[in-house]
Amino acid sequence: MGSAMEHVSVNGVELEFACVGSGEPVVFIHGGGIADTGLPLAAEPALNEHYRMIRYRRRGYAGSTRIQGPVSIAEHAQDCRALLGALDVRQAHIISHSYSAVVAVRLAVDAPEVVSSLALFDPSPLVVMTSEEFDDAIRPSIRPIMDNYLAGDPVAAVDGIFSEVFGLDWRAEVSRTVPGGPEQADQDAATLFESDLRAGQQWHFGAEEAAKITQPVLFLTGTDSLPIFVEVRDRLHAYLPQTEDDVMPEANHLLHLRHPADAAARLAGFLKRHPIA
């Protein structure tokens, strides 16, 4: 799956990572379930010919350190910060997709000096919801999916959750730009269901945390994304009024996986408007 990865020991774990290009560092944090969703962006000349594209696999995914039980969002943010330190990166643009938006936001709150800008691709509703609100919002759709997982059918559970947010043809769509991605998602199902989906119970983001984020923020969504992401966008503006909106036509939650060149061009435009000082 993806290109050859290097390994680094940071924060008590081993992470797989890859770097291409040169210039201002751009770090991609993948969402829940599919470890190489940053691969299509890193392959785009609009980005790799002007920026140092860094992507890594969070702990619990692919060849990074395996886990047992939930890993907190704060720990994932610490992993990213430690990776930057190991790569001698003092400041970077942070790109996230879906679930990983909470990791990116937490990193900006805890270590604002290393975050030059934030780009949030269809960020999880958890970013602006309390854990109780998030649980209420997803419980009706997630319950039968969790039942499949608990019954010992992780592949059916993975299909259920990604068919909901990506569409019924998600396996073919993902495979087109992330070869082996769906199969790796099946193998990493325990991390998705036993860690990522549970870690949100300890998440909190409000006015106090938002006040610490002064960096430029990009909110990228698609015309075919689920309606809940419109609510996320509106609520995020209340917290972070500096947020810039961009909408990709004919794109759903897959965004940069379905249309990598378009997503890369939009991201490159944002990065050029907000270079690292």
Q: Where are the domains of the chain?
A: 6-273
Please give the full DSSP string across 27-81, using - where no structure is assigned: EEE--SS-TTTTHHHHT-HHHHTTEEEEEEEPTTSTTSPP-SS---HHHHHHHHH
* Assigned token pair, 270: 């944002």
Please write the tens of the pLDDT for every residue from 76-94: 999 999 999 999 999 999 9
| Spatial distance between the Cα atoms of 150 and 193, rounded to a whole number of angstroms | 9
| Percent of the chain surpassing pLDDT 90 | 83
Within 10 angstroms of residue 182's Cβ, the number of other Cβ atoms is 21
Q: Which amino acid is at 240?
A: L
Confidence of residue 3 (pLDDT cuts 50, 70, 90): low
Confidence of residue 109 (pLDDT cuts 50, 70, 90): very high
Q: Which residue has the higher pLDDT, 40 or 144?
A: 40
Is there a contact between 126 and 198 (Cβ–Cβ < 8 Å)?
Answer: no
Confidence of residue 137 (pLDDT cuts 50, 70, 90): confident
pLDDT greater than 50 at residue 51: yes
pLDDT greater than 60 at residue 1: no
Of 28-42, 76-90, 165-179, 196-210, which gets the smallest average pLDDT?
A: 196-210
Q: In the CATH hierarchy, which fold is given to the domain comprising 6-273?
A: Rossmann fold (3.40.50)
DSSP state of 93: E
